[in-house]
Amino acid sequence: MSAPASKSPATLHDVAREAGVSLATASRSLNGSARKVNEAYRQRVVEAAQRLGYTTNLFAQAVAKGSTTTVALLVADIADPYFSSIAAGVINAASEEGLVVTIAVTGRNAQRELDTVRALRGQRPRVMILAGSRTTGSAFEEQLRLELSSFEDTGGKVAFISQDAAPFATVLLDNYGGARDLAVALAGLGYRDVAVIAGPPEIRTAEERLDGFTEGLAEHGITLPPERIIHADFTRDGGYRGTQELLASGASVDLVFAVNDVMAVGVVSALRDAGIVPGTGIGVAGYDDIPTVRDITPALTTVRIPLEDVGRRALQLATGTAYDGGTAGVGAGPEAIPTETIIRGSTPRR
């Protein structure tokens, strides 16, 4: 009795016919906002839709309404726990609002980021969220700004996650302050001879953390000699290699700060592979508090960012759903996300 596999999805038209009502009525019963349709009709339409296995064609709906239900998320690397945690937050928040999120990866490449933004505009997303690694000094930066401004001029909303992004909404991460606090805490634990495995100089987040950390040390009268700052890739392998370089230099240090946790994980492995037990003799600290750092040995001292929240905030900021999540008082605004220093086994008191 079942009809042979038809070759295309049921349309609203089909539903209307099946229910014996007009297209308009069908539309109104299924998706219309202002409910002004006879319950009896509505019933029949819904049943007909059910029977035909009808699902609204979101694209067609978008075209007709002139607005979509899409959120575009750009990340450097979705396999990096930092970004995947943020993505989880964005996706969860989005699905609560009936929005669908499309993810694109830019691989920390400014050119590619720009191209991606352009391509994504074709989707006419309601919101575009750019997570991570604003670079600085790139010729693309201005072009990106222009592209995004134009996107906003045509009704889109953009939200950045990271440092203040000029005219755009931003979920502010206080990289400077968090790193400063961390440095202060570590100095308090007795560390004095510090090295930093920093990121590529053009990654702003990395630089801010470096600066904040330096400042925190300075407050305790500790200086960070330039040769103790090693620039490396913003990845686990970057941390690993940076550490090898550090060790090769023969510098004698009692603490290594990597500007993010994935790098710090690399640091720990590199130390261990060099026969040094991290946490005894040399302390190690990171930044972000990605899930894994609890599970490496020793557990890593770091600065906690509530990653999932950050993602969720970014979405809400952009959609205007920015309810004040219980965080007492003061308006949402570009208030920085609170950061917390977490001391763990990788930096015992000296």
Partner DNA sequence: CTGTTAGCGCTTTCAA
Partner DNA sequence: TTGAAAGCGCTAACAG
Q: Where are the alpha helices (DSSP H) in 67-203?
A: 81-96, 110-121, 139-153, 175-188
The answer to the question of residue 178 lying near its own copies (CB under 8 A) is: no
Residue 274's binding partner among its own copies, DNA, none (Cβ under 5 to 8 angstroms by kind) is: none
Residue 81's binding partner among DNA, its own copies, none (Cβ under 5 to 8 angstroms by kind) is: its own copies
Instruction: Quickly tell me which residue has 């953390």 as its tokens.
Output: 209
Residue 23's binding partner among DNA, its own copies, none (Cβ under 5 to 8 angstroms by kind) is: DNA
The answer to the question of residue 308 lying near its own copies (CB under 8 A) is: yes
Of the candidate spans 57-65, 157-165, 309-317, 319-327, the one that interacts with DNA by CB under 7 A turns out to be 57-65
Give the β-pairing of 229-231 and 255-258.
unpaired
**In the window 88-147, what residues touch its own copies (CB under 8 A)?**
88, 91-92, 95, 100-105, 118-124
Task: State the helix-helix crossing angle for 110-121 and 139-153, rounded to 10 degrees.
Answer: 20
Of the candidate spans 4-12, 69-77, 209-217, 259-267, the one that interacts with DNA by CB under 7 A turns out to be 4-12
Contact predicate 58/52, CB 8 Å: no
Contact predicate 220/184, CB 8 Å: yes
Q: Cα 309 from chain centroid?
A: 10
Of the candidate spans 85-93, 134-142, 198-206, 207-215, the one that interacts with its own copies by CB under 8 A turns out to be 85-93
Contact predicate 141/250, CB 8 Å: no
Establish how many alpha carbons lie within 13 A of residue 121's alpha carbon, considering only the half-sphere containing its beta carbon.
Answer: 18
Q: Which of 66, 250, 275, 333 binds DNA (CB under 7 A)?
A: 66
Residue 123's binding partner among its own copies, DNA, none (Cβ under 5 to 8 angstroms by kind) is: its own copies
- From residue 19 to residue 38, the character string flagging contacts with DNA as x (rule: CB under 7 A) and all else as - is --xxxxx-xx-xxxx--xxx
Residue 236's binding partner among its own copies, DNA, none (Cβ under 5 to 8 angstroms by kind) is: its own copies
Closest by CA to 228, choosing from 241, 209, 242, is 242
Tokens (6 digits) for 162 = 């990271």
Residue 38: exposed, middle, or buried by beta-carbon count in 10 A (0-12, 13-18, 19+)? exposed
Residues at the interface with DNA (CB under 7 A):
8, 11-13, 21-25, 27-28, 30-33, 36-38, 40-41, 54, 56-57, 60-61, 63-66
